[in-house]
Chain A
């Protein structure tokens, strides 16, 4: 009797091990297909997928042709990349690193299946500096709204949606629809430690201008923008 139970337990154990191995290697196969596509489609000619080893300079950053993706898995919300890569509607109103030209809206498109595999590869690129233990709840945040509009006037460089109309400046990425796009904890991490993600940026540093509680409120407000 006990021998029988032991046999059953043992076989359940073995089956679980084999099964999870198969599942994880299947997942890995999808990921590596994603990274292969990333290389074969030339995505790497405009995007960095590893943190630069040396110090970055203003000229190195202004020479970049696209935003960094080495922290994509920390920056984006689950599901966003797979749909954006199929239909890449402009995020930045202006062409990348330009203060004159409009965004040409000509980003390479992927089919649904390829986009899913590239997205899963990119979502695995995590940043050590993400402050994942801080809870940032996206949504209506009156304090955050006042800070965003009055105290720091973040709309000076960022478009937001005001009752269906675009309002604000153009030099930063649009913050319309961040509720679907950006991970709330990444927004907080960026505001409290810009140097970890964008050490050279036209955006002023807010750490030290805003208190920690204010940065939390700002992050929560921005994370909920529709």
Chain B
């Protein structure tokens, strides 16, 4: 019992202490993450009109304000497409995979944020 406590405090404590701030996105809200990673394609308000949505691109980024479009996706599909990219839902690979960039928790948070944007 006492040994277990010792292990938790003295070994795991510092591990958490050092590992957490190492993530540069530490403390970022879903809104912050959206602004940093998604706005460049999906636009400042999520309407699919970010600076990367140029005329030369073959596919427009999804309009995240469109309940009509976003209702087609289940929560699981939204999480899957953010984790694994457009290919995961048979869409364009222009939608990148973020599983190496964002934690599962952050992706879950973004799913909630997208549901707020589309009100759906």
Stretch from B5-13, B24-32, B111-119 contacting the other chain: B24-32
A61 CB to nearest B CB, Å:
8
Total contacting residues, chain A, CB less than 8 A:
31
Q: How far is the CA of A150 from the CA of B98 in the complex (A)?
A: 17
Mask: chain A, 23-61; 1 = CB below 8 Å from B; 0 = not = 000000000000000000000000000000001111000
Contact indicator B24/A56 (Cβ below 8 Å): yes
If A156-B57, A200-B24, A202-B36 touch, does A99 touch B50 (CB 8 Å cutoff)? yes
Quick check: is B65 within 8 A (CB to CB) of the other chain? Answer: no
Quick check: is A109 within 8 A (CB to CB) of the other chain? Answer: no
Mask: chain B, 49-79; 1 = CB below 8 Å from A; 0 = not = 0111110110000000000000000000000
CB within 8 Å of B: which of A151-173?
151-153, 155-157, 165-171
List chain B residues, Cβ under 8 A from A208: 99-100
Contact indicator A166/B56 (Cβ below 8 Å): yes
List chain B residues, Cβ under 8 A from A169: 40-41, 51-54, 57
Contact indicator A99/B40 (Cβ below 8 Å): yes
Quick check: is B101 within 8 A (CB to CB) of the other chain? Answer: yes
Quick check: is B88 within 8 A (CB to CB) of the other chain? Answer: no
Q: How far is the CA of A150 from the CA of B92 in the complex (A)?
A: 9
List chain A residues, Cβ under 8 A from B41: 156-157, 169, 171
Query: B residues engaging A (CB < 8 A)?
Result: 21-22, 24-25, 28, 32, 36-37, 39-41, 44, 50-54, 56-57, 92-94, 96-101
12 intermolecular pairs with C-beta atoms under 8 Å apart: A55-B22, A93-B51, A99-B40, A100-B51, A168-B56, A169-B53, A170-B51, A171-B50, A171-B51, A204-B97, A206-B100, A209-B97
- Having A153-B93, A199-B24, A204-B97, one finds 10 other A-B pairs with CB under 8 Å, namely A58-B25, A58-B36, A93-B51, A99-B40, A150-B93, A156-B94, A168-B57, A169-B52, A169-B54, A205-B101
